[in-house]
Structure 1
Amino acid sequence: MYRKILITTDGSAVSNKTACAGVDFAEQMGAEVLALFVAPEYQYPIYVEIIPPSYPSEEEYRAAMQRAGQGHLQAIVEAAERRGLRCAGATAFAESVALKIVEVAAERHCDLIFMGSHGRSGWGQLLLGSVTNKVLSHSKIPVLVHRLIKEPQGHENAT
């Protein structure tokens, strides 16, 4: 039914559990996986007139976020490969995480977006997380929203 599934992660324990469920779902479908981490765009400090020497340059920031993204995506890619699934990981930069998820899904010809009901903002929200809500309202392809029954303990790797 689905040939290529985009699985999102923000690196949180909740997101890792959701990614694990996404890989399981992809295995059931025999689908290829695209794991995606979206980092915020670089922000210049607007509260000072001179950028402090300790403030990272845009290049340093992007390199650090690429490394962080690789770390967040590695477990998903490895879990998919252990199950014999084709998988790629990608880190993208955007002001709007939700719009970037939708954009990448379209550009990479995904036919499903698999994501959690909540990410870093966690369990404090009663309704869907804001990123998930925006993806649902902007996506032209199906979005499967995974909701965990209980909050994960600690920050262990779920996949």
Structure 2
Amino acid sequence: MYRKILITTDGSTVSSKTACAGVDFAEQMGADILALFVAPEYQYPIYVEIIPPSYPSEEEYMAAMQRAGQQHVQPIVDAAARRGLRCQGLTVFAESPALKIVEVAAREGCDLIFMGSHGRSGWGQLLLGSVTNKVLSHSRIPVLVHRLIKEPAPSTA
């Protein structure tokens, strides 16, 4: 039914649990996976006249976020490989994660977006998370929203 599923992650424990469920779902469908981490774009400090020496350069920031993104998507890539599924990990930069998720899904030919009902901003919200809600509003392809029954214990890693 689905050939290529985009699974989002923000690196949180909740997102990791959702990603595991996404890999399980992709296995049932026999689908390829695109694991996606959307990093915030570089922000110049606007509150000072000069950039402090300790503030990272744009190149340093981009490299650090690429490394963080790789760490966040790698468990999805590894889980897919253990199940014999093809999976690509991708880190992109955007001001609006939701719009970037929709854009990447369309550009990469995904036919389903699999994401959690809440991410980092999480469990204090009564309704869907803001990113999930925006993806649902803007996506032209199906979005499967996975909801955890209970909040996972924080990781000790």
TM-score range, shorter chain: over 0.9
Residue equivalent to 1:103 = 103
In structure 2, what residue type is equivalent to 1:92?
A: V
Deviations 1:42-67 (A, max 9, x none): 00000000000000000000000000
For residue 88 of structure 1, what is the aligned residue in structure 2? 88
Q: TM-score if structure 2 supplies the norm length?
A: 0.99
- Hey, what's the Cα distance between the residues in 2 that align with 1:40 and 1:153? 26
Q: How does 1:132-147 map to 2 (within 5 A)?
A: 132-147=132-147
Identity among equivalent positions (%) equals 85
Partner of 1:72: 72
Look up the equivalent residue of 1:145 and give its one-letter code: V
Aligned residues: 157
Structure 2 counterpart SS, 1:5:
strand
CA-CA distance at 1:155 after TM superposition = 1.7
Q: Match for residue 55 of structure 1?
A: 55
1:132 shift after superposition: 0.1
Is 1:34 paired with 2:17? Answer: no
The Cα shift of 1:92 comes to: 0.3
Contact 1:13 1:156 survives alignment (8 Å) = no
Give the Cα separation in 1 of the matches to 2:114 and 2:126.
20
Paired amino acid for 1:88: Q
Per-residue Cα deviation, 1:76-118 (whole angstroms, up to 9, x for no partner) = 0000010000000000000000000000000000000000000
Query: TM-score, normalization: structure 1?
Result: 0.97
Query: What is the DSSP-based 3-state SS (H/G/I as helix, E as strand, rest coil) of the residue aligned with 2:123?
Result: helix
The Cα of 1:156 is off from its aligned counterpart by 5.7
Letter in 1 for 2:119: G
Structure 1 runs (4+) deviating above 2 angstroms are: none
Which consecutive unaligned segments of at least 5 residues does structure 1 have? Answer: none
CA distance in 2, matches of 1:21, 1:151: 15
1:154 deviates by 1.5
Task: Indicate the SS of the match to 1:47.
Answer: coil
* Counterpart amino acid of residue 60 in structure 2: E
Note if 1:152 corresponds to 2:152. yes
Which residue does the alignment assign to 1:121? 121
